[in-house]
C-alpha cells in the first residue's frame, strides 16, 4: 500500500485527515506526523513514506537522504523554501506545489497591517487597555491614506490584489517586479519603477514577491538606508528576504516608522529573544496571512489532488511542479 505522510510542524493533537483520504482513496495509507519541525521526528515519521505532504517542515538534505521510498514531496502552499531542492534532485524525488490559492487572504492581511500601522492602532489600543488613558494627542502624526504612496515589491497575483485594495483608499501605487518593466503589462494606474526609486519615494513598502536564492536578504541595511520617507514596512512574503538585524536598526534609528510582519526568520522563529517584540509600532502575526477556513480547505484539496494526479501519472493535471523526476512512473 502506498503511504502518504502528512508532516505538520505544529505540535497539535491529531488532526482530521478525512479530506486527504477522500481524495487519495482507500489504496493509500495516510499518516499524520505532528511536531515535524523537529528533524529527528521528521526522519522517523517519513523514512518509509512514498509521498511526503508538508508545508513548512524542514526537508533538508539530512531528512531527504533518510527517505527510503519517497518519490514525491507535495507542498501544501505556494512557497517551497523549506525544501532542499538540490537534495531532492539528487535523490530523484519530485516536488510539486500549489500554483495559486489564498491570494485574497494575503492581500487582505497586508492591507490590514497597513491600516493598523498607519492609524497607530496598536499604540492606542495599548494606551486604553493598559494605561486606562483616553486621549488622542499622545500618538500624533497620522496621515490620511489617500496622501500616501504604496510601494509594492513583487507584482504578481497578490501584489495586484493589494494594489486594488489600496487604490480603494486612494493610495498612489508604485511597483517593482523583475517580470514587468512598464505599465503595459499591468494596470495603467500603477507606476512601475526600479527598487531605488520605490525605496526613495514610498510611504509604505510591502514585500509580495516569491522567495528565491536571488532575493535572500533583499531588504538589508543598504535598502533601509535608501528609504527616505520613513515608510511603514510590510512583509507577508518570507522572513528570509529581510535582514532582521538591519530591520531592528531601522526601527531603532527611525529610518522606518513601523513594521507589520507576518513572517520572520525560521518556522517557528525565536520569539523569546526577538528584538522585534514588545514595540507599539511593530505588529507581528504568526504566518497567518494565508489563512481562512476556505483557503485552508483549498490548500488541502489541491495538495492532495496533486498527489493523486502524480500517482495516476496525470502529470499535466498537477497544479505546479518544482521538479519532476524521471522516476515518476514507479507507482502502480
- Is pLDDT above 80 for 173? yes
- In 113-160, beta strands by DSSP E: 149-153
Q: What is the number of alpha carbons within 13 Å of residue 9 lying toward its C-beta?
A: 17
Active-site positions?
238, 267, 287
| Grid cell locating 258 | 513601523
pLDDT at site 180: 67
Cβ contact 33:8 at 8 Å: yes
- Is pLDDT above 70 for 182? no
Number of H helices, E strands in the chain: 11, 13
Cβ contact 109:285 at 8 Å: yes
- In the chain, beta strands by DSSP E: 2-7, 28-33, 51-54, 72-75, 94-97, 149-153, 172-176, 190-192, 204-207, 232-235, 258-261, 282-284, 320-323
CA-based diameter of the chain, in Å? 70
What fold is seen in the domain 103-284? Answer: Rossmann fold (3.40.50)
pLDDT digits over 214-262, tens only?
889 999 999 999 999 999 999 999 999 999 999 999 999 999 999 999 9
Strands 72-75 and 2-7: what pairing? unpaired
pLDDT digits over 27-62, tens only?
999 999 888 888 998 999 999 999 999 988 899 999
| Grid cell locating 225 | 538606508
With 0-12 / 13-18 / 19 or more C-beta atoms within 10 angstroms meaning exposed / middle / buried, residue 299 is buried
In the chain, where the domains are located: 2-101+292-323, 103-284
pLDDT at site 184: 42
Per DSSP, the three-state class of 4 is: strand
- Strand-pair partners of 261: 235, 284
Closest CA to 169 of 151, 150, 141, 187: 150
Which residues neighbour 201 within 8 Å (Cβ) at sequence distance 6 or greater? 149, 151, 174, 193, 228, 229
Residue 148 vs residues 201, 219, 258: alpha-carbon distances, Å:
10, 21, 15
With 0-12 / 13-18 / 19 or more C-beta atoms within 10 angstroms meaning exposed / middle / buried, residue 186 is middle
Per DSSP, the three-state class of 205 is: strand
Per DSSP, the three-state class of 73 is: strand
CATH topology agreement for domains 2-101+292-323 and 103-284: yes
Superfamily of domain 2-101+292-323: NAD(P)-binding Rossmann-like Domain (3.40.50.720)
pLDDT digits over 80-97, tens only?
888 999 999 999 999 999
pTM, full prediction? 0.88
Residue 96 vs residues 7, 49, 93, 218, 321: alpha-carbon distances, Å:
15, 16, 10, 25, 4
CA 59 to chain centroid: 17
- Band of residue 328 on the pLDDT scale cut at 50, 70, 90: low
Cβ contact 198:176 at 8 Å: yes
pLDDT digits over 132-161, tens only?
999 887 877 899 999 999 999 999 999 999
Amino acid at each position: 500500500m502506498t503511504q502518504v505522510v502528512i508532516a505538520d510542524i505544529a505540535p497539535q493533537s491529531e488532526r482530521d485527515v478525512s479530506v486527504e483520504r477522500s481524495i487519495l482513496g482507500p489504496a493509500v495509507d495516510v499518516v499524520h506526523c505532528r511536531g515535524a519541525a523537529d528533524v529527528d521526528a521528521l526522519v522517523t515519521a517519513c523514512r518509509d513514506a512514498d509521498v511526503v505532504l508538508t508545508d513548512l517542515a524542514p526537508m533538508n538534505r539530512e531528512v531527504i537522504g533518510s527517505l527510503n521510498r519517497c518519490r514525491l514531496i507535495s507542498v501544501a502552499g505556494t512557497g517551497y523554501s523549506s525544501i532542499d531542492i538540490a537534495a531532492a534532485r539528487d535523490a530523484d524525488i519530485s516536488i510539486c506545489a500549489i500554483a495559486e490559492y489564498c491570494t485574497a487572504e494575503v492581500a487582505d492581511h497586508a492591507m490590514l497591517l497597513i491600516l493598523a500601522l498607519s492609524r497607530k492602532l496598536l499604540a492606542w489600543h495599548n494606551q486604553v487597555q493598559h494605561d486606562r488613558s483616553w486621549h488622542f494627542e499622545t500618538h500624533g502624526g497620522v496621515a490620511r491614506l489617500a496622501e500616501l504612496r504604496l510601494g509594492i515589491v513583487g507584482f504578481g497575483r497578490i501584489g495586484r490584489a493589494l494594489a486594488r485594495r489600496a487604490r480603494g483608499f486612494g493610495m498612489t501605487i508604485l511597483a517593482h517586479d523583475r517580470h514587468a518593466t512598464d505599465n503595459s503589462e499591468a494596470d495603467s494606474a500603477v507606476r512601475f519603477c526600479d527598487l531605488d526609486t520605490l525605496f526613495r519615494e514610498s510611504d509604505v513598502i510591502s514585500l509580495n514577491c516569491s522567495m528565491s536564492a536571488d532575493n535572500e536578504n533583499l531588504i538589508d541595511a543598504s535598502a533601509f538606508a535608501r528609504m527616505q520617507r520613513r515608510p511603514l514596512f510590510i512583509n507577508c512574503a518570507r522572513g528570509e528576504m529581510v535582514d532582521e538585524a538591519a530591520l531592528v536598526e531601522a526601527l531603532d534609528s527611525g529610518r522606518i516608522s513601523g513594521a507589520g510582519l507576518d513572517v520572520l526568520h525560521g518556522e517557528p522563529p525565536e520569539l523569546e529573544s526577538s528584538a522585534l517584540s514588545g514595540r507599539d509600532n511593530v505588529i507581528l502575526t504568526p504566518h497567518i496571512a494565508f489563512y481562512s477556513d476556505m483557503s485552508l480547505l483549498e490548500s488541502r484539496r489541491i495538495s492532495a489532488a496533486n498527489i493523486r494526479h502524480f500517482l495516476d501519472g496525470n502529470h499535466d493535471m498537477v497544479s505546479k511542479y518544482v521538479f519532476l523526476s524521471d522516476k515518476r512512473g514507479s507507482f502502480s
